[in-house]
Amino acid sequence: MKRIIFSILIIASAFVLHGQEQLNKLSSPTSPASSILGLQPTTILSPKSYQSFEAALYSNFLNNEGNINIPNDFALEFTPYWTKNHRLSLMDYLYPKNNIDLLIRNSSFSLASTQKFQIGDSSYTNAIGLGYRTTLYFGNQKDREKIENYKGVLNNKQAIVVEILKESYSLIARGKIKNKIDFIDSIKVALIESIYKKGRLKSKKEAEKLAIIICSKIDSLPEFNNEKQEEFIDAFIELLDEEIEYKSSFEVFESYIKERQGFSLDIAYASIINFPSNNFEYSIVPRQSFWLTPTYRFKDEYSFLKILGVIRYEWYNIDYYKKYFPATIVYTNNTDFGVALSCEFEKFTINFEAVGRNSNSEIPAGIDNEGYKLFRKDKKNDFQYIGTFSYNLSDQIVLTYSLGNRFDPIQNPKNTLVSLISLNFGFGTPTKSSIDIKK
């Protein structure tokens, strides 16, 4: 029964989100809050999509008996800016005038929760992860030139449609159109001139060829008479759109602006709040993390490829670990550094990361002759590698599976196998109505 209910939930969510004209596709779930709790095994945070709200469920889904586990580990990520329609121009959306605007638009806050945060005596406790992140994009000149070119092509094609629409209504108002043949004879010259001038074609012959093709197909449109004028004009404009390829040009343009090419920098912070006695009035912050993740997305035929780096610094509350993990060696801080390679295609993404870790602590080493405490440095190196496969069930639902070898955990250090499924939902991304492409 649980299996059926879970399947229905996924399918229903896909139908709800499918019809929305989203301007951004949800990327693999990588929130700071879920990462610091260990719900998300990867260390490197991919640059976040423009989403108002995201929710992720983390689980293996199947238990030892083969039954579905209802996930009790989940994460939320919230971007306040995109809860409102700001009617930005396309260039302002892609390339804000200053970094403050960019920082505010991309600022997101994440919350993650687990009921299985294991402490030293092997008991499970509740824990919450809190996170903040923002992404700075640095567009290059080539991208700007492409955007302007796309805009120019779309504006020119739209201008042709507007010009011919005005001419059509003018001819009808003057009473010159009685049937489709009259319409073809009357509109042909204006059609050629409009296509030639507004379409910026190299020669008038090109415009004449396209006009002849359009006029030859008018005969397939509904009959023209006083009662069906609007129906005829609507069908004619649809034919015009199709032949000058306005819709297909827009789809190519829309696809391009979804791919943020060039360099970006992700900045993030997260901390854990643990309730070791499962009492809400007693909590401790055992660990905090800070990320810098530079990312570069390649251009043109390699636009599916991204390379990411990471520098993450973690610091620990040693008093907490001495109390709740007395038999475990815990280092004062960790410094993680590594790279990831990501290949993004229309429906799926493949990601592989390799990250090294340096752990450092100062351990008491006695007292000197003058009574001062002595310390010695203790160090440890570790390494993790994880592969991730993500599949977009829709533009706003992503199913992700991760497999690999993680850093030695504090609890059960030999348990380094990663095998995790997550389901990520996105809501409130910018749409065509919130971005004015004409500006």
CA 207 to chain centre: 41
Number of residues that make up the chain: 439
Report the C-alpha gap between 135 and 79 in whole angstroms: 12
Q: Are 313 and 334 in contact (CB under 8 A)?
A: yes
Q: Any idea of the CA torsion for 153, 156, 161, 164, to the nearest 10 degrees?
A: -150
CA 26 to chain centre: 4
* 182-200 exposure pattern, b = at least 16 Cβ within 10 A, e = fewer: ebbebbbebbbbbbbebbe
What pLDDT is stored for residue 254 in this prediction?
65
Where do you find CATH 2.40.160 in the chain? 2-35+262-436
What pLDDT is stored for residue 424 in this prediction?
87
Report the C-alpha gap between 12 and 201 in whole angstroms: 48
What pLDDT is stored for residue 377 in this prediction?
59
Pairing of strands 108-118, 73-78: antiparallel
Report the C-alpha gap between 68 and 2 in whole angstroms: 7
Q: Is 56 exposed, middle or buried (0-12, 13-18, 19+ CB in 10 A)?
A: buried
Pick from 158, 162, 190: nearest CA to 177: 190
What pLDDT is stored for residue 437 in this prediction?
58
Residue 244, C-beta contacts closer than 8 angstroms, at least 6 positions apart? 157, 160, 161, 195, 199, 210
At the top level of CATH, which class does the domain 2-35+262-436 belong to? mainly beta
Element (H, E) at 160: helix 141-173
Tokens of 220: 């397939």
What pLDDT is stored for residue 388 in this prediction?
94
Q: Tens place of pLDDT for every residue, the chain, 439 residues?
A: 344 334 433 333 433 333 345 656 677 667 899 999 888 888 888 877 677 888 888 876 555 555 555 567 888 899 898 888 777 776 777 777 777 887 888 899 999 998 888 888 888 899 999 999 998 877 667 777 777 777 777 777 777 778 777 877 787 777 777 777 777 777 777 777 777 776 666 677 877 787 788 788 877 777 777 666 778 778 877 887 777 765 556 666 666 666 667 788 999 999 999 999 988 889 999 999 999 999 998 877 788 899 999 999 999 998 898 899 888 888 889 999 999 999 988 888 999 999 999 998 865 555 655 555 544 557 889 999 999 999 988 878 889 999 999 998 887 778 888 888 888 888 877 666 666 655 6
Tokens of 41: 């095994």
Q: Are 407 and 416 in contact (CB under 8 A)?
A: yes
* DSSP states along 33-76: HHHHHTSS--SSPPPPPS-SEEEEEEE--B-TTSPBPPP-EEEE
Pick from 319, 288, 277: nearest CA to 125: 277
Report the C-alpha gap between 126 and 436 in whole angstroms: 45
Q: How far is CA 204 from CA 192, 196, 237, 265, in A?
A: 8, 6, 22, 48
Report the C-alpha gap between 310 and 298 in whole angstroms: 18
What pLDDT is stored for residue 311 in this prediction?
96
> Which residue has tokens 């297909």?
248
What pLDDT is stored for residue 344 in this prediction?
87
What pLDDT is stored for residue 404 in this prediction?
94
Report the C-alpha gap between 196 and 207 in whole angstroms: 5
Report the C-alpha gap between 404 and 59 in whole angstroms: 16
